[in-house]
Chain A
């Protein structure tokens, strides 16, 4: 009955963060699933642990571009259906050009603006007077490789300074044999970065 005990102890450790959810279990050989799970876990530490508010600005920008692109395609399809081909040509030209242009914009947006950032968290000023402090999380996990790099940047709304920290770990440090995310190992790592970033602030 040893395995059962293991499960139980793990569940109790995770209670802090996910009292009502079952522990996150993933296919550990699936690189993108591993990255997503660790990203989600890091998010959780900042939102549930520190009570920061997630800002969806970056994500919404990407969703907006995609939505407009799909709308162009849908419109082209509808217009071509209502006005069969030779008549629909000018509309099709506009839609096709806009669509591929938007795909280009999307590529530029994700590579230069999002740059692997999966979360922007706002540390709201309690009094609501000063500008918010901003925490930005980004990560990389190269295909077929096991090193997960987490980067946390901190932007101080008051002093307008930003600094960042980076840490690279093998994913095996945070994921057990069964593909379960070990929050008890990952969480301190994130917290450590958080502490050193925010203490730098005080020392200055």
Chain B
């Protein structure tokens, strides 16, 4: 009996019929889908594959600090100019980097190569690029910073540093939505 009592919180679920159970699962799926579709919608609107990023390092201080949230757009027709802050990916690195454009070379056929540097770093980024890579190209750009929100990204940083916290929160939320009937 003790066993059964401890499972009382599952009673709501136990009383459901097949359709209600399926709706419960759908409900959970719709919460996830809504978040996903908002993200994909933002991707389409901004043209960037990752329209919101969190600054993870202090290499751009005092412009951006750790934990700032950046909004990116990536209009391919707009030329890249010196002084702009770009987010780019480097082969072999999972996390994109946010740095300022230092030098740009443009050819008449439209191809561009450019060099970046962190405001707070003493040298340019050639040491960060893939071995042998001297310049970045348009295909490496994830987006260009258009706006920022300070501190908001700290939650993300915390979760990144402690993945257990992230999984625990996700598991709790998921379980709550699944067993709690609307």
Contacts and interface: CB of A to CB of B under 8 A. Distances in A.
A77 B36 contact: yes
A128 B81 CA distance: 78
Contacts of B27: 66
A99 interface: yes
Interface residues on chain B, size class: 20 to 34
Interface residues on chain A, size class: 20 to 34
B30 to A, nearest CB: 6
A25 B4 CA distance: 13
A80 interface: yes
B91 to A, nearest CB: 14
A93 B44 contact: yes
A59 B27 CA distance: 14
B37 A95 contact: yes
A53 interface: no
B37 to A, nearest CB: 5
Contact of B26 (A24, A25, A26, A63): A63
Contacts of A67: 26
B12 A92 contact: no
A131 B22 CA distance: 30
Interface string A10-49: 0000000000000011100000110010001000000000
A70 B30 contact: yes
Interface in B1-47: 8, 11-12, 15, 19, 22-23, 26-27, 29-30, 32-34, 36-37, 40-41, 43-44
Contact of B37 (A76, A84, A89): A76
B181 interface: yes
Nearest to B180: A32
A40 B37 CA distance: 34
Interface in A111-126: none
B49 interface: yes
A91 to B, nearest CB: 10
B182 interface: yes
Most chain-A CB neighbours within 10 Å: which of B23, B34, B37?
B37
B89 to A, nearest CB: 11
A14 to B, nearest CB: 14
A103 interface: yes
Contacts of A73: 29, 32-33, 36-37
A66 B20 CA distance: 13
A78 to B, nearest CB: 11
B22 A69 contact: no
Given A70-B26, A70-B30, A70-B33, A24 B15 contact: yes
A69 B181 contact: no
Interface string A76-107: 11001000111001001101100110010000
Nearest to A56: B19
A92 B43 contact: yes
Contacts of A99: 33-34, 37
B32 to A, nearest CB: 8
Q: Nearest 8 pairs between A and B by C-beta?
A: A73-B33, A85-B49, A96-B41, A66-B26, A70-B29, A99-B37, A92-B40, A92-B44
Given A70-B30, A96-B40, 10 more contacts: A24-B11, A32-B180, A59-B23, A66-B26, A76-B40, A80-B40, A92-B44, A99-B34, A99-B37, A103-B34
